[in-house]
Amino acid sequence: MTTALHDIEERTNLTGSNKFELMLFRLGEAPGTDRRELFGINVFKVREILVMPTITAIANAPAHVLGVANIRGQIIPVIDLPAVVGCVPRRGLTILMVTEFARTTQAFAVEEVAEIVRLEWGNVLAAEGNGGGLVTSIAKLDGDAEKGRLVQVLDVEQILRNVMPTAQEAITPQSVGTAVHLPEGSIILAADDSPVARMMIEQGLGAMGAPYVMTKTGQEAWDRLQAIEEEAHAEGKTAHDKVALVLTDLEMPVMDGFTLTRNIKQDPRFKSIPVVIHSSLTGTANEAHVSSVGADAYVAKFVASELAATIRQVLKH
Residue ranges per structural domain of the chain: 3-166, 187-315
- What residues pair up with 120 in beta bridges, in sequence order? 19
Q: Which of 107, 101, 158 is nearest to 128 (CA)?
A: 158
- Which architecture does CATH list for 3-166? Beta Barrel (2.40)
Rounded to the nearest 5 degrees, what angle is found at the Cα of 88, between the Cα atoms of 83 and 91? Answer: 120
Let me know if 306 is exposed, middle or buried by CB neighbors in 10 A (0-12, 13-18, 19+). middle
CA 3 centroid distance within chain: 26
Q: pLDDT tens digits, the chain, 317 residues: what are they?
A: 344 434 545 555 565 578 889 999 999 998 888 889 999 999 989 999 999 999 999 999 999 999 999 999 999 999 999 999 999 999 999 999 999 987 889 999 999 999 999 999 889 988 876 656 789 899 999 766 567 789 999 999 889 989 988 766 678 888 888 889 899 999 999 999 888 889 989 999 999 999 999 999 999 999 999 999 999 999 999 999 999 999 999 888 899 998 999 999 999 999 999 999 998 876 655 566 666 778 999 998 888 899 999 999 999 87
The one-letter amino acid at 274: P
Q: What is the DSSP letter of 190?
A: E
- What is the number of other CB atoms lying within 10 angstroms of the CB of residue 274? 20
The rounded distance, in Å, linking the Cα atoms of 165 and 144 is: 38
The rounded distance, in Å, linking the Cα atoms of 217 and 197 is: 12
- Which architecture does CATH list for 187-315? 3-Layer(aba) Sandwich (3.40)
Total-model pTM = 0.83
